[in-house]
A and B are shown apart, each in its own frame.
Chain A
Amino acid sequence: MAATTATRRAIERRANPAWSGFVATIDNQLKSFYREPQALAFTLGQPFILLLILNAFDFHVRGADGREHPYIDVLLPGMIAFTGMTVGLNSVAFVLSRYKERGILRRVRATPLPTASFLGGVIVSRLVIAFLVTVITYLAGVYVFGADMTGNAAGLIALGTLGSVAFIAIGVLMVAFARSEDDLPPMFILVLMPSLLFSGAFLDRSGLPDWLYWLTNGLPLTFLTHAVQGVANAGAGWSAIKGDILGMGVWGAAATALAAWRFRMA
């Protein structure tokens, strides 16, 4: 047993894989982002192109402060919320599903790296990406398309970044329930369509029939859009958006709990 005792000590002297693997996973995943030119162009380019197209509609809408604004003023915060959602959903769900199908998760699962550290590393890398996309969207909106933002820029960017957390959790949940990568697009559309149409990110919610307004009040993107538009257009503070943050928190916590129960690396 002497050999085992010495080996045990040697292995126990190693770095804790929960931490070293977590840091390495962030690095690994950021590389996957900037080394794939198409993914990079799509993620960074999508909000810019959407702003370009939607900004062509020249009309005024009522903002969170109750005053009339050029569409771009309300569109930009909506776009920040929307990109927070798509980065969160898209980047995590598809990559995890691909890794699962190709046995990469199985290989990682067989190391001493805890699943939570691996998922944590993937999630943090996506938060870095969400932060970059939010900053680029904000800068493009203000400096290229001339949006007038009343609220605090740092708060807005922080909201856009952290808002993606709930959607990342929903993305992991999708993978937990998907039998293969083919199952993801319909799930994705199920979240995307109502969010696109009824969250207020692009279209004014005040025109919705009461039942639909009530029903879509609880969409995660409705919470995020309301908070971002509140900060951007009316300079809303913590007290005005804490309900929205709570709403997103509930979505994030519920999705995380369900995903933790259902998600399997192998």
Chain B
Amino acid sequence: MTSSAAAGAAASPTSDGPPALAVHDLRKHYRKHEAVRGITFAVQSGEIFGLLGPNGAGKTTTIEIVIGLREATAGTVEVFGADVARDQRLARGLLGIQLQESDFFDHLTLAEQLRYLGACYGTEPDAAALLAAVDLADRGDWRLKQLSGGQKQRFALAAALVNDPRLVLLDEPSTGLDPGARRDLWQLIRRLRDSGHTVLLTTHYMEEAEVLCDRVAIMDQGLIAAVDTPDRLIDTLLATGFRRPEPPRAATLEDVFLSLTGHQFSEADAAAGVVPAGRRGRR
């Protein structure tokens, strides 16, 4: 049920070569349940693309097929032209992943974890540079249990980059984070795109999708209901005559929270490593 108007509405920054991800008529059936019922969409190189939908919409199943954890019942998935089922090594080499509810080893330091994961891809990542890229410089000899929730998610992002991927897949990266830590993460994800990566993320937070994603696909009951830029999707809804019951106030409770706790992203503090996460300078 791909919206034909939306499917073509690619806000693609670069369009030479195959799309970063091309999903064609993808289906996944379990015994009596159809989790994904024939979806088609493409993620263009260089964009942040959001896969949205309620629980049980089929997002995680789609993601798991893309990264090769599940086999599709029918349809194809290509990462930069490499079929994930037939050309697994190439496809996995191109993909960086951060999985929901997936932990790391307790007994290894952060730098060791990154080097271990790198070895699983046949690469030797520069752990210090990766940690610096997610504002965890000088934390190379820390253990995972010493990190706050936000730092853990940033570390997971670094772990998604060990194989120098071109498409980075983030499954609910900001779930469980406080608003400040979530904004830190958004900034990092934007930085990722600005450095030439394509990002596919899933999220439950519509605000996150609205401010972060260049385009989104909205999934429901195993189908794609719409694909477009957040702005155009909102315009389309407004054109139907939809109005929010109460116009929003000029500030939200989240703004109050951020103003009182000062959890705003400050690169200088983080890079210097002098201010612990969660106590960064107010902007």
Give Cα A2–Cα B80 distance, bound, in whole angstroms.
11
Given contacts A2-B17, A4-B80, A266-B69, contact A31 B112 (CB under 8 A): yes
Interface residue from A11, A12, A20 paired with B119 (Cβ < 8 Å): A20
> What CA separation (Å) do A2 and B16 show in the bound complex?
10
Chain B residues whose C-beta falls within 8 Å of the C-beta of A109 in the assembled complex: 69
CB closest chain-A residue, reference B109: A31
Within 8 Å by CB of B67, from A17, A102, A103, A110, lies: A110
B120 an interface residue at 8 Å Cβ cutoff? yes
- Is there contact, CB below 8 Å, between B107 and A112? no
A110 touching B80 by the CB < 8 A rule? no
Interface of B, secondary structure class, is loop
Task: Say yes or no for A16: interface residue by CB 8 A criterion.
Answer: yes
A15 within 8 A of B: yes
Name the one of A4, A15, A23, A36 contacting B107, with C-beta atoms under 8 angstroms: A36
A107 to chain B, nearest CB (A): 4
Known: A4-B80, A15-B123, A16-B122. A32 touches B89 (CB 8 A): no
Q: A31-B107, A104-B104, A109-B69 are in contact. Are A11 and B89 (CB under 8 A)?
A: yes
Chain A neighbourhood of B115, CB < 8 A: 24
Q: Please give, as numbers and ranges, the residues of chain B lying within 8 Å of A31 by CB-CB distance.
A: 107-108, 112
Known: A28-B108, A107-B102. Contact between A4 and B116, CB under 8 A? no
* Known contacts A7-B94, A106-B102, A107-B104; A112 and B119 CB within 8 A of each other: no
Of A7, A12, A24, which is within 8 A of B120 by CB? A24
- A25-B18 Cα distance, complex, nearest whole Å: 35
* Docked complex: A17-40 residues within 8 A CB-CB of B: 17, 20-21, 23-25, 27-28, 31-32, 35-36
For A108, what are the chain B residues with a Cβ–Cβ distance below 8 Å? Answer: 120
Shortest Cβ gap from B28 to chain A (Å)? 15
At the interface, is chain A mostly helix, strand, loop or mixed? helix
Query: Closest CB of chain A to B172's CB: distance in Å?
Result: 13
A110 with B92: CB separation less than 8 A: yes
Tell me whether B18 and A4 are in contact (CB under 8 A). Answer: yes
CB-CB nearest in chain B for A17: B122
Q: Which residues of the partner chain B approach A67 to less than 8 Å between Cβ atoms?
A: none
A109 to chain B, nearest CB (A): 6
Residue of B nearest to A22 (CB): B119
Closest to A101 in B: B103
Q: Is the CB of B82 within 8 A of A104?
A: no
Can you name the residue of chain B whose Cβ is closest to the Cβ of A113? B120
Partner of A112, one of B16, B18, B89, B103: B89
> Shortest beta-carbon distance, A130 to chain B, in Å?
19
**Cβ-closest chain A residue relative to B156:** A107
B120:A112 contact, CB within 8 angstroms: yes
B45-91 interface (Cβ within 8 A of A):
67-69, 80-82, 88-90
Q: Note all chain B residues with C-beta closer than 8 A to A11.
A: 89-90, 93-94
User: B residues engaging A (CB < 8 A)?
Assistant: 16-18, 67-69, 80-82, 88-90, 92-94, 97, 99, 101-105, 107-108, 112, 115-117, 119-124, 163, 166
Instruction: Enumerate 29 A-B pairs (CB-CB under 8 Å) in ascending A order.
Output: A3-B16, A3-B17, A4-B17, A4-B80, A4-B82, A7-B90, A11-B90, A14-B93, A14-B123, A15-B119, A15-B123, A15-B124, A16-B122, A17-B119, A17-B120, A17-B122, A20-B122, A24-B116, A24-B119, A28-B108, A103-B102, A108-B120, A110-B92, A111-B92, A111-B120, A112-B88, A112-B93, A113-B120, A113-B121
Which residues of A are interface residues toward B (Cβ below 8 A)? 1-4, 7-8, 11-12, 14-17, 20-21, 23-25, 27-28, 31-32, 35-36, 102-104, 106-113, 266
| Given pairs A4-B81, A27-B116, A36-B107, 11 additional interface contacts (CB within 8 A) | A1-B18, A1-B81, A7-B166, A11-B89, A15-B122, A20-B120, A32-B107, A103-B99, A107-B117, A110-B69, A112-B121
